[in-house]
Amino acid sequence: MKDKLGQIFLGLSICILIGVIVWLVYPSPYRACHLILTGMGRGRLYPYVAKFKPYKGKTMGGFALMNSVVKEQIASFTEVNEPYCFLSLGAELSGTAEAFLTKGEAITKAFNSMKLDAMLVGNIDFSFGKERLEELSKSCKFKYLSSNILDEKTNLVPKYFTDELIIEADNDLKIGILGLTPPDTPNLATKDSVAGLKFLKASDILKRKIDSLKTKGADIVALLTQYHKEYITAEEWLTIASASPDICILLDSDIDAPIPFVKDGVIVYTISSYNQTKEIDILNLEITKARPVEIVGLSSKRIAVNLAEYPEDPEIASILDKSTANMRAFRDKIIGKFAKDYAKSYYYECPFGDYITDVMIKETGADIAMQNSGSIQSNVSEGQFTNGDLFRIMPFANKVVTMDLKGSDIMELLTISASRKRGILQVSGLEYSYSYKSKNNYQLKYVKINNQDIISDKKYKVVTNSFLAEGGDNYTPFTRGENVEFGRSQRDLVREAIASQSMISPIELQTYNRIIVEE
């Protein structure tokens, strides 16, 4: 029996030895490459308690914590000499008091230290205007990436943007990066912030740019976009697929971590549109060593940026503290108190939407008020409410605007709202009902203003915010308004209302069935 076991052991040893010799003499023809991905941070410089699954109740995110995750991943790649690049899908520079009051400077400094390679420029990144982007670009060690923005006068790429990027990674690998800023950005940002720029469609530039990168020696071409996996149209996808990037990065709204897949010959991976620094995504590629480089294998992981699992990086923490030192007293000033938690809603009536619109009517005496759901960026938490909380919920510098609009224009606005293409309109002074079955199957059912049927040719006094007044979020009927008057800061108005009401007791919000949805 012992002799038999010895023979088996000897046979296994010989097999292992042969395997090692074969591996040494005939090494694998493949190697690994990695894309480290973030984006949709929305100015979240510091950790915060997450409100929704799968991280509800956990302290997540922030740049110092995020960098600990990134550094760990980079160390694992460099240890085995595997090339990588670090990219952001944008929507980084605005969304919190710290981001707003430093006009993106704190985030730029943090990304510099984190050795980000490139950041796609999206509509939120224009919050402080193109001039501010140009200023920030002068101190950027990473690239502001957009392949489809041109200066209207010169018809050239603005000098503060990079339209084609080749990252020369380790092991002589060249990774080409393109960025597709949403072509409808002029409708998603204020007019002043993008004045003088034109945003090309993907069909105008994408194939040419990809061919250009490959001619310049790019082994792999990755396209960063803010298209959403669920909402990208067949035509938009066909444009991308026919241009043949190797990889296309999209957005998702899924709780579960994504799995990379191949569609029409293009590798597709998604990051969360609700990321807010809570996650770092890694797309792992297995590629051939020989040229032309071929991608032969895929895997991925989504890493939770959880304070219970990672320490904050002290270098980034110090950068953030120095960048925000002058505004922390203002940020932390208590302005009021709320009785409970109140959630935002993009497609349904929400308590803070009712509150904002009620405050605007009280200020102006308008018949009705309208506010886009996308302007309400976060939830209200129970307890003390600070300036920082207000900026987090209302990060955009909107003014109050009044105008006269015909009933027919209001009906058209509410029909656009019912389409849910850019979220619904929160309202006061009116009620409306709509049915929604799909993006192609929706209908405005009824509208009442102050309990009366709306009259098509009657003019009503409407109050809204300056973004909508310019036709933002594709609500173009607002641009037909007459007797338009711009008032003061909407955020200041809401701050004063919260402070005044909180002197009596904690504020209790509610909804009033102003918006009825049939699904």
Residue 362 token pair = 């009280």
Judge whether 312 and 68 are in contact, CB under 8 Å. yes
Residues of the chain with pLDDT under 70: 1-27
The pLDDT value given to residue 170: 77
- DSSP-based three-state secondary structure for 91: coil
The pLDDT value given to residue 442: 97
The pLDDT value given to residue 172: 87
The pLDDT value given to residue 171: 75
Alpha-carbon gap, residue 406 to 458, rounded angstroms = 5
144 Cα distance to chain centroid: 15
The pLDDT value given to residue 316: 97
Alpha-carbon gap, residue 51 to 491, rounded angstroms = 23
**What residues have CB less than 8 Å from 239, skipping those under 6 apart?**
201, 202, 203, 206
The pLDDT value given to residue 68: 98
The pLDDT value given to residue 28: 82
Residue 103 token pair = 């006009």
Number of H helices, E strands in the chain: 15, 27
Helices within 26-86 (DSSP H only): 63-79
- Helices 63-79 and 314-324: crossing angle in degrees, nearest 10, is 150
Residue 176 phi, psi (nearest 5): -90, 135
Residue 84 token pair = 């990588």
The pLDDT value given to residue 280: 98
CA angle (466, 469, 471) in 5-degree steps: 120
**What residues have CB less than 8 Å from 207, skipping those under 6 apart?**
242, 243, 244
Alpha-carbon gap, residue 211 to 34, rounded angstroms = 22
